[in-house]
Amino acid sequence: MEQRLVDEFAFNDADLAEAHEKSGTPIILNKMAWARSYLKVAGFLANERRGVWLLTESGRRALSDGEAAIHTGVASAMREYNARRRAASEASAAEEISPDELSFEASAPTEGVGDWRDQLLSALKGMDPTAFERLCQRLLRESGFVKVEVTGKSADGGIDGVGVLRMNLISFQVLFQCKRYAGAVTSPIVRDFRGAM
């Protein structure tokens, strides 16, 4: 994400080398980190794992509504966030909740749900191709891929792309296809993919 911003705004090495006097922190990268934090507070970005940032549905809507909607949403969210922090710090002086005051309700398992695998497969097969693409990218990132890029959408509702799989100290460039097949993936399909590589 940072590299794309550096490229988009054409920051040069001198720009990136500028640092805060006291901390020595690079100014531009620090501002990028704060921007991510603000967008997360506003609910426009989510990050459930270190290094994996996702554009939320709220973020997509705000993006389509324009830059002013993003600024307004972030400003409003930050005002609410700061008010909650002030209230929380004031409340911390109040008494603590004892374990006896907490109540937990056990929910009974839902009956008639059926096989979760069938439900999952049905949901995947019924997804919009764009949503399927985002899901595949997210699964790959959660599995340790970095720089996941979709290089092309195919007519069969799947995606093709490249990514870098980081395993401990070693990284591998990986080509991938994510397709929705009704049955098993057959040998000719695998051979075609190997040939395309």
**69 lies in which domain range?**
2-93
pTM here is 0.47
Residues 100 and 107: their CA atoms lie apart, in Å, by 20
For residue 45, tell me if it sits in a domain: yes
Last residue of a domain, one of 32, 58, 93: 93
Residues 149 and 97: their CA atoms lie apart, in Å, by 48
The CA-CA-CA angle for residues 92, 37, 22, to 5°, reads 85
Residues 6 and 85 in one domain: yes
For residue 27, tell me if it sits in a domain: yes
For residue 101, tell me if it sits in a domain: no
Residues 124 and 63 in one domain: no
Residues 121 and 85 in one domain: no
The per-residue pLDDT for 43 is 92
Alpha-carbon distances of 114 from 31, 111, 117, 145, rounded to whole Å: 48, 8, 9, 33
Residues 6 and 84 in one domain: yes
Residues 7 and 70 in one domain: yes
For residue 165, tell me if it sits in a domain: yes
For residue 105, tell me if it sits in a domain: no
Last residue of a domain, one of 93, 124, 154: 93
pLDDT tens string 37-85: 889 999 999 987 777 888 899 999 998 998 888 999 999 998 998 888 8
Residues 136 and 62 in one domain: no
Q: By CB neighbour count within 10 A (0-12 exposed, 13-18 middle, 19+ buried), where does 53 fall?
A: middle
Lowest model confidence (mean pLDDT) among 31-35, 87-91, 93-97: 93-97
Lowest model confidence (mean pLDDT) among 57-61, 77-81, 151-155, 190-194: 151-155
Number of folded domains in the chain?
2
Residues 130 and 185 in one domain: yes
Residues 58 and 124 in one domain: no
Residues 85 and 27 in one domain: yes
Residues 77 and 15 in one domain: yes
Provide the phi-psi class of 69: left if phi over 0, else alpha when psi is between -120 and 50, else beta: alpha
For residue 140, tell me if it sits in a domain: yes
Residues 141 and 70 in one domain: no
Residues 59 and 125 in one domain: no
pLDDT tens string 99-117: 444 333 444 444 445 577 7
For residue 103, tell me if it sits in a domain: no
The per-residue pLDDT for 57 is 92
